């Protein structure tokens, strides 16, 4: 029998800070090969990026193909002195497993592998494990999905093991994620003496006016999403002279948007506000936006119901359906098949003393096993 706790410890002991694999995928591959999986180690390196190791493993050749997606890379541990135990020691104390990646998300990978032990699917089970989720995301899941397409590999449904729970394993199913846009605003005026402000064009009031205009609510939410948010994160002038009106001012903001918007519609909204303020103030305003992820929703239906019912059988209570939080690699997978996220509580992820209760890992393994049984008993269409 696969012990999910021991496997989680083995994975945590690999200091796989993005982009380094540090042996984590080799451990996982060794276990999966022993279970009959065909494994493909996939290394991708886009120009100007670090090479990334990924793993795609499949048991079976027939449809449907149920895929578990996750990542073995972790964020840096920070100052080791802030940790109760060394961040890659995988110590267990009073029923709690400590270590970088314990919550996000090596323990979930271990729980899924344990759930597979001895299971024979009427179809196929696959794992898509990347080493680039915490990094740029260029050489990881996106690249593996392209490889799957090129090699005729079709995924029918996908479960991502991100730490989406609030208090207990499986208490929340993420059925979608908000989109994300990061925007840099540059306001260019005309430098001048503070004693003669009429001869200058001060970019600061123009920027303040734009901030005020963009800070009005975007919407009041939708059936499955909270209201969209726009948050300014920096305002920079860099002017060290108290008697000079500066020539330029900058700001940055992020929008997390629901399904009432698209990236293009929000870019249009931003450009319209900038054009209005530019016309009113005489300052030149440019806005450069980078899309971090597009909004998506796996509509409640047979797949989501199957997941919810399986969790209820495993832990005795039905999960909440949620779309809150940041982004995950589900934003890439949703273009290939229906996807949902179920995992451990994530309250300590990315923190010093990242940890997870051992019993929660065992509970998650039971949840995953129940999902597999339900899925292959009656695969959703």
Query: Of 250, 267, 379, 364, which Cα lies nearest the Cα of 315?
Result: 364
CB–CB of 29/57 below 8 Å?
yes
For residue 239 the two structure tokens come to: 């002017």
Residue 233 burial (C-beta neighbours within 10 Å; 0-12, 13-18, 19+)? exposed
Residue 190 burial (C-beta neighbours within 10 Å; 0-12, 13-18, 19+)? middle
Residues noted as catalytic: 73, 133
Number of other residues whose CB lies within 10 A of the CB of residue 328:
25
Residues 6 or more apart whose CB falls under 8 angstroms from that of 80 comprise 86, 87
Query: Of 117, 87, 120, 110, which Cα lies nearest the Cα of 161?
Result: 110
Give the three-state DSSP class for 182: strand
């Amino acid at each position: 029998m696969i012990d999910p706790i021991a496997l989680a410890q083995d994975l945590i002991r690999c200091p796989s800070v993005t982009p380094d694999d540090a042996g984590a995928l080799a451990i996982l591959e060794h276990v999966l090969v022993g279970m009959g999986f065909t494994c493909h180690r996939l290394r991708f390196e886009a120009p100007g990026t670090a090479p990334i190791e990924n793993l795609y493993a499949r048991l079976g050749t027939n449809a449907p193909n149920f895929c578990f997606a996750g990542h073995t890379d972790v964020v840096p541990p920070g100052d080791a002195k802030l940790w109760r135990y060394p961040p890659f020691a995988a110590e267990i104390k009073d029923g709690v497993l400590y270590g970088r990646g314990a919550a996000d998300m090596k323990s979930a990978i271990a729980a899924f592998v344990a759930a597979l032990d001895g299971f024979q699917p009427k179809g196929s089970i696959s794992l898509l494990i990347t080493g680039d989720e915490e990094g740029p995301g260029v050489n990881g899941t996106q690249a593996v999905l392209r490889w799957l397409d090129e090699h005729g590999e079709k995924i029918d449904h996908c479960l991502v093991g991100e730490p989406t729970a609030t208090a207990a394993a499986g208490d929340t199913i993420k059925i979608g994620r908000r989109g994300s846009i990061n925007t840099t605003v540059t306001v260019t005026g005309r430098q001048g003496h503070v004693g003669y402000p009429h001869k200058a064009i001060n970019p600061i009031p123009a920027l303040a006016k734009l901030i005020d205009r963009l800070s009005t609510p975007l919407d009041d939410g939708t059936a499955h999403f909270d209201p969209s948010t726009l948050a300014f994160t920096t305002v920079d002038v860099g002017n060290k002279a108290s008697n000079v009106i500066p020539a330029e001012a900058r700001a940055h903001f992020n929008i997390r948007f629901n399904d009432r918007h698209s990236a293009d519609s929000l870019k249009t909204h931003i450009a319209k506000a900038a054009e209005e303020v530019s016309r009113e103030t005489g300052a030149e305003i440019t806005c450069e936006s980078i899309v971090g992820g597009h909004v998506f929703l796996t509509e409640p239906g047979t797949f989501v119901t199957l997941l919810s019912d399986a969790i209820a059988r495993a832990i005795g209570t039905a999960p909440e359906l949620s779309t809150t939080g940041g982004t995950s690699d589900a934003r890439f997978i949703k273009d290939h098949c229906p996807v949902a996220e179920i995992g451990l509580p994530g309250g300590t992820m990315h923190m010093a003393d990242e940890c997870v209760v051992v019993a929660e890992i065992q509970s998650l393994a039971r949840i995953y096993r129940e999902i597999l049984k339900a899925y292959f008993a009656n695969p959703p269409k």
